[in-house]
Structure 1
Amino acid sequence: MNTQKYIEDLLKSHSLKKTSARIEMLKIFLNYDYALSAKEIISHMKVSHDRVTIYRTLGSFEEHGILHKASEDSHGIRYAMCSHECPEKVHSDEHVHLICENCSQTYCLEDIKIPKIKVLEKFLAQKINYTINGVCNACLSSLKTTNG
């Protein structure tokens, strides 16, 4: 996959200008298989961008359906890439998130959809979070090696 072309096409399809901050942030997200906080993003950036630019870019990406909030904890809000089917303005990333109790990373388990909940037929659900706390594969492998 040509990462640069993918990012340019992604920004164009969401009617966003190609800025150095947007391009660099998307490259960072594409390099990780877990959700990232603003602090983590800033630490991975090669070019220094002010915090306002970072937070505005995160907000813009969320608003345009490029990122979604995967979790929130003492490390702040963690963002993950949306699936290709996620429409602008209305996130449809209704999948399970796993928060690793060992490394604190949040993973999107996109193959596991949030089950239908009968009580929601009586209410208007505006946001659904389904989180599993456990141990991720990387930490599980490390634990097996250490204890092995």
Structure 2
Amino acid sequence: MPSGLVALLDDISVIAKAASASIDDIGVAAGKAGSKTAGVVIDDAAVTPSYVTGLSPARELPIIWKITKGSLKNKLLILLPGALLLSEFLPGAIIWLLMLGGAFLSYEGAEKVIEKLGGGKHGKTLEDEIRDPVAFENKRVAGAIRTDLILS
């Protein structure tokens, strides 16, 4: 009987070695695909006004650069250390934070649907007159960065 257990453990170690080798290959392939996808998304964002609707076409790339810098700052300075600390000291809090983020995104989505169906508008929209384009741009960038933080 003990030899059967040893044989089983030996088989498990062989399977684990094969799985770890394939996981390494998957990680490399995912990294390559991710970098290619990021290039496509950024390239599309540069030529698609829907990402920065309502703003000057000459400002599209600088706006996307601001959003990119804010997104990287969020991920490297807030999310990564926060996730590591939470997973070490308060792992149960992660689920609650994810639920709060989902609730916020649901609220924002419901707000957009209500506006489209003819309900009251919340804040300034593109149909309103833009008196200060710089302030409007900064507000749009801040909103995009905040949404990216919550989605991440």
Higher RCO (C-alpha 8 Å, min separation 6): 2
Taking structure 2 as the reference length, the TM-score comes to 0.23
Taking structure 1 as the reference length, the TM-score comes to 0.24
Q: Greater share of strand residues, 1 or 2?
A: 1
Q: Greater share of helix residues, 1 or 2?
A: 2
Q: Which has the larger radius of gyration?
A: 2
